[in-house]
Structure 1
Amino acid sequence: MSGVLEREASAERRAELAERLERVRGRMRDAAGGGPVPRLVVVTKNFPPSDALALAELGAADLGENRDQEAAPKAEALAGRLESPPAWHFIGQLQSNKAKSVVRYASAVHSADRLSLVKALGGAMSRALQEGLRPDWAGASLDVLVQVSLDDDAAGARGGAAPADVPRVAEAIASTPALELRGVMGVAPLGADPAPAFERLAAVRDALRADHPGAEWMSAGMSQDLEAAVGAGATHVRIGSDILGARR
């Protein structure tokens, strides 16, 4: 996928995206029950830059991706078309050697789960800022969340640091220049009730704030479990298929 926007979404596709986007926003408002409504990160994985552009023009201020090879050209394409590009959230498992690319467009990384990755992100940010490779719209610092494993065991684990390791990873983020510790992220275990898992994630976030008061973010919830995430106190939800349709 190149960084050139070869075509725009059709009028029919824009209307479909607008309807789906508002439907999800309604679910979020209902789940919040009059309380704070989380920030919506629309995950455009496996969909073209034309969809991402249409969503941004429809008011989606935060877009998410989980593969650098797809995210980088999309971010480039939209930056060439929009005066104020959306904030890009990198939400997938990240290899350390991809850090130098990710910091050139991402405003936030939700998936820091080990010290080596924190070190790579810090070094990449330092170089990008010194060499003028980070665009102004991405921000002068990188928001980083600790991904927390919510699986009971290693079988079928969906990634993340063990809860006992979170303080160490968080401290490394907080002490690294150009990185801002924002909170935690988690993915509910497959085939299980997501509510208890999200309650555990909220407890990890609350404990982390004792030493890092600014670590308020809790990134949790996808299309199938956003209500449980909002009920547990999520500040950010990551929604893909319920807005864009079945992935190709």
Structure 2
Amino acid sequence: MTDRRDELAGNLAKVEERIAAACAAAGRRRDEVTLIVVTKTYPAADVRILSELGVRHVAENRDQDAAPKAAACSDLPLSWHFVGQLQTNKVRSVVGYADVVQSVDRVKLVTALSKEAARAGREVGCLIQVALDAPERSAGSGGVGERGGVSPGSVEELAAAVAAADGLRLDGLMTVAPLTGEYAGRQRAAFQRLMDLSTDLRRAHPTANMVSAGMSADLEEAVAAGATHVRVGTAVLGVRARLG
């Protein structure tokens, strides 16, 4: 356990140095960027160590893994973020522990989240996941990306649905750097496009100022573009073992 703690502490320090350097290069304060550690596939014991090391935000992408892990760590001062594509039959479970759902991508999901949040007496933060590899069609077009999310043209409609829903709080936008389309291999441009969409969103919803972008490989580009939250897994926890 001591070896694992030392490993995580060292990795966390390196990531912190990267974020601090990226903030300095962008002329931003370090406290403008929040680190979310993506703990998927790693055990609750690692989450507990991370909490002891000062981590306050963790993320998961599969409810079947996240629910028991969150329950095992319910005594810790953590905010849990759900970042995976979410099926409506998992919503009740996810609402039980997630403080923020970062992958809201359809009205049907908004309706399900609202129903369960109201039933549980909770307020759940929501980010609209933007697919920058989806066609920029008009609202309601249903354009989707390879890694989930909605087309930029659908953001306004979906944001309005979240803002009007009981039990939900519209917090902002999230994206994953696309592997295809005009932004493939152009992370800085992709994240800047997300920031432009955030500016548009905040005209109608001033408090929806969270911008979640950037992961282990491209957090610097996200910070440079203006992201408020970066989601880092491998750089903190190590390379995940291949399944099978």
TM-score, length basis structure 1: 0.88
The Cα offsets for residues 165-210 of structure 1, whole Å up to 9 and x where unpaired, read as 1011100111112111010000001251211111111111110000
Q: Following superposition of structure 1 onto structure 2, how do residues 53-64 of structure 1 map, counting pairs within 5 Å?
A: 53-64=48-59
Q: Following superposition of structure 1 onto structure 2, how do residues 49-128 of structure 1 map, counting pairs within 5 Å?
A: 49-79=44-74, 82=75, 84-128=76-120
2:123 counterpart residue number: 141
Q: Is the counterpart of residue 213 in structure 1 residue 202 in structure 2?
A: no
Q: Is the counterpart of residue 15 in structure 1 residue 6 in structure 2?
A: yes
TM-score, length basis structure 2: 0.89
Q: Is the 8 A contact 2:80 2:99 kept in 1?
A: yes
Give the Å deviation of 1:96. Answer: 1.2
Q: Is the counterpart of residue 198 in structure 1 residue 180 in structure 2?
A: no
Long gaps (5+) in structure 2: 136-142
**Distance 1:128-1:174 versus aligned 2 partners, 3 A rule:** same
Q: Is the counterpart of residue 150 in structure 1 residue 142 in structure 2?
A: no
**Distance 1:156-1:122 versus aligned 2 partners, 3 A rule:** closer
**Distance in 1 (alpha carbons) for counterparts of 2:69 and 2:52:** 14
**Distance 1:184-1:155 versus aligned 2 partners, 3 A rule:** closer
Alignment coverage as a number of residue pairs: 226
Give the Å deviation of 1:97. Answer: 1.3
Partner of 1:13, secondary structure, is helix
Structure 1 segments of 4+ aligned residues over 2 angstroms from their partners: 152-156
**Distance 1:156-1:104 versus aligned 2 partners, 3 A rule:** closer
**Distance 1:225-1:179 versus aligned 2 partners, 3 A rule:** same
**Distance in 2 (alpha carbons) for counterparts of 1:177 and 1:36:** 34
Long gaps (5+) in structure 1: 1-9, 130-139
2:167 counterpart residue number: 178
**Distance in 1 (alpha carbons) for counterparts of 2:160 and 2:227:** 22
**Distance in 2 (alpha carbons) for counterparts of 1:150 and 1:66:** 20
Q: Which amino acid aligns with 1:149?
A: A
Q: Is the 8 A contact 2:134 2:151 kept in 1?
A: no
**Distance in 2 (alpha carbons) for counterparts of 1:110 and 1:185:** 6
Partner of 2:93, secondary structure, is helix
CA RMSD of aligned residues (A): 1.4
Give the Å deviation of 1:223. Answer: 0.2
Percent of residue pairs bearing the same amino acid type: 48
Q: Is the 8 A contact 2:101 2:126 kept in 1?
A: yes
**Distance in 1 (alpha carbons) for counterparts of 2:134 and 2:202:** 24
The Cα offsets for residues 84-143 of structure 1, whole Å up to 9 and x where unpaired, read as 4311000111111111000100110000011000000000111112xxxxxxxxxx4111
